[in-house]
Amino acid sequence: MAPGKHASGVGDEHRTTLLAAREMLSRDALLLIVVVGAIVRFATLGSQGYWFDEHATIVVLTQRLAGLLPRILSAESNPPLYYLVAGGWEKVFGLGEVGLRSLSALAGTATIPVAYLAGRALGSRRAGLLAAALTATSPFMIWYSQEARPYALFAFLSALAFLFFVKTLQERGSRSLWAWAIASILAFGTHYFGFILTAVEAAWLLWRMRGWRTEVALSIGVVGAAALPLLPLALAQRGHVGWIALIAPGDRILQVPQHFVVGLNSPWAILPPLAVAAVAAVVLYAVARADPPALRGAALPGGVALATVALPVVATLVGSDYLLTRNLIGSWVPLAIALGVLLGAPALKRLGPASVAALCMLGLALAVWNAATPAAGRPDWDPLAGALGSPDVPRLIEYPSPFVVPLVQHLANARLQTPGERDTVQEIDVVDLRPVPDYSVGPCVGLAICGGKNLLGPQGKLAFPIPRRFKLVGQGRTSLFTYRRYRGPRPVKLPPADPFVHQIIQSAS
């Protein structure tokens, strides 16, 4: 065989292989995106301990069924659906970090194909894939997909409701309309901000579906009837979120776009505003260059997302303040869909997919950094529990910051004090947050470490002052905490436990 023919044959074979690989990637792109999204959500579920809010979930789930709703009423700020689902889930998978958080990870993973379907319906297959890729790699979505709280389930149900909302507008069918109604009920049964999404979509349906207004009004009436039983619960829980107003509204408003783009924390303070500015510049360019069908396709999800973000912002400015980025997670998927449709416009050629690819790579890098940086994530309690060890005498573990409470789940023979109880101890360990780098984007409201600062302000006084005859017998530190150990010559009876200060009692091993 002549050398030229041999080289030509090798080249043809190489091109055939590349074409086959490209065809496979194109055919299975959604599957690959979902697999990547699942890996980044499930792989590190157990690398971080529960933080304070997740501990509150555990407290609710460990109640008997008769005590579940009273506990939600007295200590929670969300509707009951997530806790009912999680209660069944933990019976199978347990209360450990991996077992319980896997519900949120599954909901977060399931949101990816829903984003794809909505993006494809509004634009094209490319638009759907771009929306799915953004959802799979978003640091914001990954964070809440790894938390034993209602947010990932709320995002999934909101995305599902939005998909059926789009289908209803396009198909004018009863099946899609009632599917939207059911998904909407489930969404606001998981988080109260679902009311806002439902109201915006309901108004849009009434406006656009003139020939179907009777059936649309009937479905909205059913949704409203389902919402009525939640209103007394929502009113009773209002006082549980009063702490939100202690953080400047302007700071929280500025957090929203930064959290949406880079997540809750960042290795460099300059990165979040730069990333937001870059995304805004790309969007403005895309709006100027995109063809009319792409602009119309992006207008629907973009309008829903902006309306459902703007309404809470306006409410905050007039004094009804419940604004936190995590409460807006239901608006994130419509926003990603709008971005996917816009950047998937044929007129943008390779610029749109390249921009999404860059944003996805940034998201994955930040997700890996979050998982690998102890001060940027939820606390790992095992090193502290190991350092404290098992006591040979009854021990009190107390802490100025309430955010140390989840430690109780990592200690043998340990429990939280019962209000009014008088315990007898011979050893007292005082645990403090250790100063660490603060990577939070804006005011730290959603983490457990926050640079080692107590979220409620300066470290307060101890609930139980160290008895006079107790002496310091040891001290130490882990990467996130410090501790001091005091021991007395004989056991002492503590004053009655405060109902609002939950310290840990650990029996001798």
Quote the pLDDT of residue 456. Answer: 52
Segment 75-86 mean pLDDT: 95
Quote the pLDDT of residue 4. Answer: 53
User: Which three-class secondary structure state does DSSP give residue 123?
Assistant: coil
Quote the pLDDT of residue 14. Answer: 62
Question: What is the spatial order of strands in the sheet that 471-477 belongs to?
Answer: 414-416, 504-506, 395-398, 424-433, 481-493, 471-477
Q: Domain total for the chain?
A: 2
Asked if 40 and 101 sit in the same domain, the reply is yes
Q: Which of 372, 407, 442 is the last residue of a domain?
A: 372
Asked if 435 and 297 sit in the same domain, the reply is no
pLDDT above 90 for 124 = yes
**Banded model confidence at residue 487, pLDDT cuts 50, 70, 90:** very high
Q: Which of 372, 392, 416 is the last residue of a domain?
A: 372
pLDDT above 80 for 265 = yes
Asked if 403 and 258 sit in the same domain, the reply is no
Q: Would you say residue 281 lies in a domain?
A: yes
Residues of the chain with pLDDT > 90, as a percent, come to 74
The residue among 495 and 446 whose pLDDT is bigger is 495
Asked if 103 and 211 sit in the same domain, the reply is yes
Helix (H) / strand (E) element for 1: namely none
Q: Which of 352, 372, 392 is the last residue of a domain?
A: 372
Give, as one character, the DSSP assignment of residue 171: H
List the Cα angle 321/266/126 in 5-degree steps: 90
Q: How many Cβ atoms are within 10 Å of 296's Cβ, its own excluded?
A: 13
What is the rounded average pLDDT for all residues in the chain?
Answer: 91
Asked if 315 and 250 sit in the same domain, the reply is yes
Helix (H) / strand (E) element for 481: namely strand 481-493
Q: How many Cβ atoms are within 10 Å of 162's Cβ, its own excluded?
A: 28
- Please give the Cα distance from 209 to 437 (Å, whole number): 53
Asked if 191 and 117 sit in the same domain, the reply is yes
pLDDT above 90 for 498 = no
- Please write the tens of the pLDDT for every residue from 190-228: 999 999 999 999 999 999 988 888 999 999 999 999 999
Asked if 310 and 345 sit in the same domain, the reply is yes
- Please give the Cα distance from 401 to 140 (Å, whole number): 26
Quote the pLDDT of residue 105. Answer: 99
Asked if 225 and 298 sit in the same domain, the reply is yes
Asked if 264 and 151 sit in the same domain, the reply is yes
Q: Would you say residue 170 lies in a domain?
A: yes
Q: Would you say residue 3 lies in a domain?
A: no
Q: How many angstroms separate the most distant Cα atoms in the chain?
A: 97
Amino acid identity of residue 337, one-letter, is I
Asked if 316 and 392 sit in the same domain, the reply is no
Quote the pLDDT of residue 239. Answer: 83
Asked if 308 and 414 sit in the same domain, the reply is no
Tokens in use for 163? 């998909």
**Banded model confidence at residue 455, pLDDT cuts 50, 70, 90:** low
- Contact by Cβ (8 Å): 135, 111: yes
pLDDT above 60 for 7 = no
- Please give the Cα distance from 261 to 366 (Å, whole number): 11
- Please write the tens of the pLDDT for every residue from 316-340: 998 888 999 999 999 999 999 999 9
Segment 163-178 mean pLDDT: 95
Asked if 98 and 59 sit in the same domain, the reply is yes
Q: Would you say residue 7 lies in a domain?
A: no
Q: Would you say residue 8 lies in a domain?
A: no
* Domain assignment of residue 472, given as a range: 382-506
- Please write the tens of the pLDDT for every residue from 385-436: 999 999 999 999 998 777 788 999 999 999 998 888 899 999 999 998 888 8
Q: Give the least confident one: 17-26, 243-252, 434-443, 496-505.
A: 17-26
Q: Would you say residue 428 lies in a domain?
A: yes
**Banded model confidence at residue 462, pLDDT cuts 50, 70, 90:** confident
- Please give the Cα distance from 199 to 161 (Å, whole number): 12
- Please write the tens of the pLDDT for every residue from 28-73: 899 999 999 999 999 999 999 999 899 999 999 998 888 888 889 8
Can you give the C-alpha Rg of the chain in angstroms? 26
**Banded model confidence at residue 10, pLDDT cuts 50, 70, 90:** low
Quote the pLDDT of residue 63. Answer: 87
Q: Would you say residue 10 lies in a domain?
A: no
pLDDT above 70 for 19 = no
Q: Would you say residue 248 lies in a domain?
A: yes
